[in-house]
Amino acid sequence: MSTDILSLKLGITSSYLIRGSNGIILIDAGTPNKIKSFRRKIARLNIHPEDIKLIVLTHSHFDHAGSAKDIRELTGARVVMHESEKVFFDEDRFAMPKGVNTMGKISLPVLFPFFKKIRFEKPLVDVVIKTQEYSLNEFGFEGMIYHTPGHTPGSISLLLNSGEAFVGCQAHNGLPFRIKPGFPIYAMDIEKVKESWKLLIEKGAKVIFPGHGKSFPVEVIKKRLFA
């Protein structure tokens, strides 16, 4: 199966379109109120809204799920999220991480009181993942969604059999969070982040597509993980 990976910025977030033979998967839906930008960007890519069959939300933070409701209504795509993360939607709570390095510890008390106040309309979640692994076969893709906790309790990552891993905030590689690729600067449990990375590496991750910044080779993570 051949796949075509396209990146588009929706606010501060790097979202991704994975085009396969049976349609397109969208990874993360950006910040709130980005539906007009989304329409323009997919039109430039010659993508029709109905081509998008699935929206994978890596976690519940506003910058990854903010425009999911609007995009779901536009495309008719099903929304996928882990059950542990859907609780934050249902209870209108914010999954508050910790700063795990110097930049994270300095910036968290400045940014996150503001982030916690951001409200957005939550999408209907059509597929609630309750297992460690969830196959993409029914959507015509060769790959899996894995429960990869650490940044938040219900963070998930999508890994194609060809080695491309879409990891949300399990890694950062760009402003406003990092200059160089590496572990996230915010996480509820950095040790769980590391365990999740061990899982993805064991399952064959080769190229990492983070929720903020550009893609990078998995060797960057391996060096930090096994140093």
Tell me which amino acid residue 168 is. Answer: G
Cis previous bond, 184, omega within 30: no
Cross-sheet strand order for the sheet of 127-129:
4-10, 13-20, 23-27, 52-56, 78-82, 127-129
Report the pLDDT value the prediction gives residue 143, as an integer from 0 to 100. Answer: 96
Per-residue pLDDT of the chain (227 residues; tens, 9 = 90+): 457 999 999 999 999 999 988 899 999 999 999 999 999 999 999 999 999 999 999 999 999 999 999 999 999 999 999 999 999 999 999 999 999 999 999 999 998 888 888 999 999 999 999 999 999 998 889 999 999 999 999 999 999 999 999 999 999 998 788 889 999 999 999 999 999 999 999 999 999 999 999 999 999 999 989 87
Overall number of domains in the chain: 1
Q: Which tokens is 78 given?
A: 């099903």
Report the pLDDT value the prediction gives residue 157, as an integer from 0 to 100. Answer: 98
Enclosing domain of residue 205: 4-225
H runs (alpha helix) in 57-152 = 62-65, 68-75, 83-90, 102-117
Report the pLDDT value the prediction gives residue 1, as an integer from 0 to 100. Answer: 45
- Label residues 181-194 b or e (16+ Cβ within 10 Å = b): bbbbbbbbbbebbb
Other CB atoms closer than 10 Å to residue 178's CB: what's the count?
Answer: 20
Report the pLDDT value the prediction gives residue 2, as an integer from 0 to 100. Answer: 53
* Backbone dihedral angles phi then psi of residue 186, each to the nearest 5 degrees: -125, 135
Report the pLDDT value the prediction gives residue 138, as an integer from 0 to 100. Answer: 85
- What CATH number does residue 131 fall under? 3.60.15.10
**What is the pTM assigned to this prediction?**
0.96
